[in-house]
Every structure is written in C-alpha cells, then in structure tokens.
Amino acid sequence: MLYGPVGAGKSSFINSVESALRGEITDRAKTDAIGGKSYTTKYKAYKIKKGDTGTHYPFVFNDVMGLEKDEGVCVEDIKLAIKGHVKNGYNFNPRSSLSEDNQHYNRDPSLNDRVHVLVCVIPGSIAGLQDDSVRKLREVRLAARDMGIPEFAILTRIDETCPEVNKDIRNVYKSKYLKKKIEEVSGRMGFPQNCIFPVKNYHSEINIHDDTDTLILSALTGMIESGEDFVNDL
C-alpha cells in the first residue's frame, strides 16, 4: 500500500512500475499535475498484466488518497486498510472514518486483504512538508510498526530536487544534495536510511530508460522481498 501527501507521486509510481515491467510508458493510475487537493479519493487496487499471457504479476498496489492536513484521508482509515477492513472501491471521507456498518467494511479480512508492505511516498522537496503532515505520516508508520509490517519510503521527484540528477539520473548516489535529503527524511520520519529508495517516476517521458527503470525496479524488488518475508513469517 502506498500512502503519502498529495502530489508526492503515488499514482505516478504505480504507472512507472507498470511502464518498467511492460517496456513502454503507461498511465493507468490517474495522476494530477495541479497540486493541492487529492485527486485519488477511492481505495483502489492495481494489478499489472504480464504481457499478453492473461495473467498478472503476483503483487497488488493499493493507492490511497493523500494525507493532507485537514482534507486528507483519516489516519484511522489507513489503519483499517492495513488490517484489510477496507474494501476495494471505498470512497475515503476526510471527515469521518469507515464504520463497521458500511458496505465497504470487510468484517473478516483474509491474508490477501491485508497489507503486506507499507510504502510512504515522499516528494524530494520534503522541506516543504508541513509539520502536521509529517505527524500524520509518522502516525501511520508507528501503527504499521506495531503490526510488524515492513515499511519503506520512496523519495520521488528527485529530478526536480537536484540539478545533477536532472542532468543524469546515474548521479543519484553521487549527489550530496540527495544524500542530505535522505538523511533528512530519515531524521524527520524515522525510516532507516537503507529503507529509503530514491526514485524518478516517469511523468513526461515518451520512452522508457534503463537508468530510470533501475531505480524503480530496485525499489520494487525491496518491497516484494520484504512482503514475501512478512507473509512467510506469519
């Protein structure tokens, strides 16, 4: 499950993974170039087709509404979603959390309904994150920790954050600026530095690039391996 502030690049990350795996740019998860309010309001699961085989890759992304200060999804709803109580298609209400009598409330979640990996999507410009949002993100993180769910952060929009990376994405692990950003995310949110993946999403490209794919797929690999460990250990 992906969560994070609006405009962080959650939907773009899902599209980027699909693009990298399919070998061509796709944009199934709707993104929004005009920031501010959350564009994604429904709890939606995304599966990715494996070529023309009629099968899917064995993982599912869930994209949730942004976590803005007053308008964003309730932290309580994210906790319910983690436990598998929120059914696909539920329309998040910023003012009240999902109640047990709602038709989208799943009373008896199976292992498949639960979240196996929690991914916080943070825009490279984290300095612009308000303390209130950071508090909400941290609250989700601590809830996941209490439930023993593996957690990652992806630091998106790194091309906008660092001119060196914008010039050549292969500079990602040479950039002093990004190193400082990762330390900052780690310090503010509490993620260990090796759980923070820098990623540039496909956002305006027409073709895919190996170097962009590399970052997207190494983040994905980390998530899948941890998710598998989590499920196997249950």
Ligand X SMILES: Nc1nc2c(ncn2[C@@H]2O[C@H](COP(=O)(O)OP(=O)(O)O)[C@@H](O)[C@H]2O)c(=O)[nH]1
Which residues on neighbouring strands pair with residue 105, listed in sequence order? 86
Nearest approach in angstroms of CB 11 to Mg ion is 3
Q: What are the structure tokens assigned to 75, written together?
A: 């932290």
Q: Is 161 among the residues that bind ligand X (CB under 6 A)?
A: no
CA 130, 132, 133, 139 torsion-angle sign: positive
Nearest approach in angstroms of CB 166 to ligand X is 8
Among Mg ion, ligand X, none, what binds residue 161 when CB lies within 5 to 8 Å by partner kind?
none
Q: Is 11 among the residues that bind Mg ion (CB under 5 A)?
A: yes
d(CA 87, CA 107): 10
Q: Is 114 among the residues that bind ligand X (CB under 6 A)?
A: no
Which residues on neighbouring strands pair with residue 153, listed in sequence order? 120, 196
d(CA 130, CA 134): 6
Among 156, 175, 212, 226, binds ligand X (CB under 6 A): 156
Q: Is 161 among the residues that bind Mg ion (CB under 5 A)?
A: no
The DSSP output letter for 170 is G
Nearest approach in angstroms of CB 12 to Mg ion is 8
Q: Which range in 31-39, 75-83, 112-120, 172-180 contacts ligand X by CB under 6 A?
A: 31-39
Sheet holding 196-198, edge to edge: 44-49, 56-63, 2-3, 118-123, 151-156, 196-198
Q: Which range in 78-86, 129-137, 144-152, 200-208 contacts ligand X by CB under 6 A?
A: 200-208
Strands 118-123 and 44-49, sheet pairing: unpaired
Q: Which of residues 13-72 bind Mg ion (CB under 5 A)?
A: 40
Residue nearest to ligand X (CB): 9
Q: Which residues form the interface with ligand X (CB under 6 A)?
A: 6-12, 31-33, 39-40, 66, 121, 156-157, 159-160, 200-201, 203
